[in-house]
Amino acid sequence: MAKQSSYQFTPDYAVHPGEILKESLEARKIKKRDLADRCGLSVKTVSQIINGKAPIEPETAIKLEHVLGVSAVVWNNLDASYRLFMAKQATEERMQRRIAWTKRFPVKELVKRGFIEKPENNVDAVNKLLDFFAVGSLTAWDSQFKEMGILFRESPSFDSAPESVAAWLKIGDIISQSIETAPYNRDKFVSALKKIRSLTNQPPSAFDPAMKKLCADSGVALVFVSELPGTHLSGATRWLHKDKALIMLSLRHKSDDHFWFSFFHESAHILLHGKKQLFLDEHNPGNASSEDEEEANRFAANTLVPEKEYNRFLKRKRFYKDDIRSFSSDLGIAPGIIVGRLQHEKRIPFNWHNDLKIKFVLKESEENEG
C-alpha cells in the first residue's frame, strides 16, 4: 500500500468574523439597526463588529444564532481563529523586531572577546544581548540608553553606530566593576596627573600599572578597550557615581602622542566639567566640537607641553630631530608628543619624524605592547 502524505494548510491571512456577519446581513437584506434591535445590542456595537474593531463575545454569538440561524459555535470559532492568528502575527512581528535589533550590535566581536557566549540562534542572540546589558527587555534598553542617543544627535559630526558605542561603553562598565578605587579626590587626581606625565618616557610595561594605580587611588577607573566595529572613538569619560569616574581609551591611533593627548584630554573632562555628562571623543581628540572639548584640548596640550616653553621652542623655528629630542628631554616627556603637536598644528609635514613616535598595540587582556 502506498504511503499517504499529509499536509497541513496554514494560511497567512485571517478573516475577521465581522466580514462574515456583513455578508450574512447583505444576503438576508437585514440592516445593521434591525440586527441591533433583534439582538438587543447597540448599533455602535454591531458596526464595530462588522468593521473588525470589536470581537464577537460568546453571549453575542448566541444571539446571532437565534437571529441568523448560524450556530454560536461557528461564530465563536471564527472569532477565536482570528484572535489566534492576530496574536501569532503580533508575536512574530515582535520577534522580527528583536532580531533586527540584534543585527545592529557587533555580536561576533562580543563573542570573540568573551563578553557573551555564541548565540545558538537569533532568539538566543536577543537574550544574550539583554543579559550583557543587564536589562529585561528592548523597551528597558531603549529607556536606559535614551540619554546617550540624545548626546549622539547633539553632535553633528558623530558618525559612530550608537549600538556599537553602547556595547563599547558597557564593556568599560563591566571592567570598571573589578577596579577598586578610593573615593574621588580632586587634589589627589591633580597630583596623579603630574606623576603620570613623567611616565610618558616609560615603556607600557612600566606606565600601564603605575598610571592605573595612580588613577584608582584618586577615584578614577582607567580602562583600555579597543574599538568595536562601527565605532570611531579615541576615548570616553563619564561618572559611574559621585565618588568614581571612568576614563576609557581605545588606542585608536596606536601612537604615543595620540595616546597621551587622549588621556589628558579625558582627564580634563573629570577635572573641569559636570558629573552628569557623558563625553565621547571621536577620531582625533584634538578636533574640538564644543567649548568643553576645546577646553579639554587646551588642558591636554598645556599639561604635556607648557605654553611658555612651547612658544620659546617655536621661536627657534628649528624642528629637526635633535631639536625635538633636546626640547622633550628638557620637558621630561616623550619626543613623539612634540612631533604629534607640531604635525597637528601643521608646523611640520605629517611624514616628518614619525620614527620618534612609539607605537602601542592594545591587547584585549588590557596589557599593552610597545
pLDDT at 214: 97
Instruction: Tell me the pLDDT band of 151, cut-offs 50, 70 and 90.
Output: low
Q: What angle do CA 192, 264, 352 make, to 5 degrees?
A: 130
pLDDT at 277 over 70: yes
pLDDT at 312 over 50: yes
User: What is the mean pLDDT of the segment spanning 212-229?
Assistant: 95
Classify residue 8 by burial, with Cβ atoms within 10 Å: 0-12, 13-18, 19+. Answer: exposed
Cα dihedral value 214, 304, 351, 319, nearest 10: -140
What percent of the chain is predicted at pLDDT more than 70?
A: 89
Nearest to 199 by CA among 181, 214, 177, 219: 214
Reported confidence tier of residue 7, pLDDT bands at 50, 70, 90 = very low
User: Regarding predicted confidence, which is higher, 12 or 10?
Assistant: 12
366 has a pLDDT exceeding 80: no
Residue 90 binned pLDDT confidence (cut-offs 50, 70, 90) = confident
Lowest mean pLDDT among 73-82, 88-97, 225-234: 88-97
Q: Do 271 and 190 touch, CB atoms closer than 8 A?
A: yes
User: Which pLDDT belongs to residue 368?
Assistant: 37
Predicted TM-score (pTM) of the model is 0.76
Q: Is 5 exposed, middle or buried (0-12, 13-18, 19+ CB in 10 A)?
A: exposed
**Domains recognised in the chain with CATH numbers:** 17-101 (1.10.260.40), 103-144 (no CATH), 162-307+360-369 (no CATH)
- Which helix (DSSP H) or strand (DSSP E) does residue 171 occupy? helix 162-176
Q: 152-200, pLDDT tens digit by residue?
A: 544 444 567 888 889 999 999 999 999 999 999 999 999 999 999 999 9
Mean pLDDT across the stretch 255-280?
Answer: 91
Q: Residue 254: pLDDT band by 50, 70, 90 thresholds?
A: confident
Mean pLDDT check: name the lowest of 34-38, 259-263, 362-366. Answer: 362-366
Which of 40, 56, 49 is CA-nearest to residue 19?
49
Pairing of strands 233-241, 244-249: antiparallel
Distance (Å, whole) CA 328 – CA 62: 94
pLDDT at 208 over 90: yes
pLDDT at 241: 92
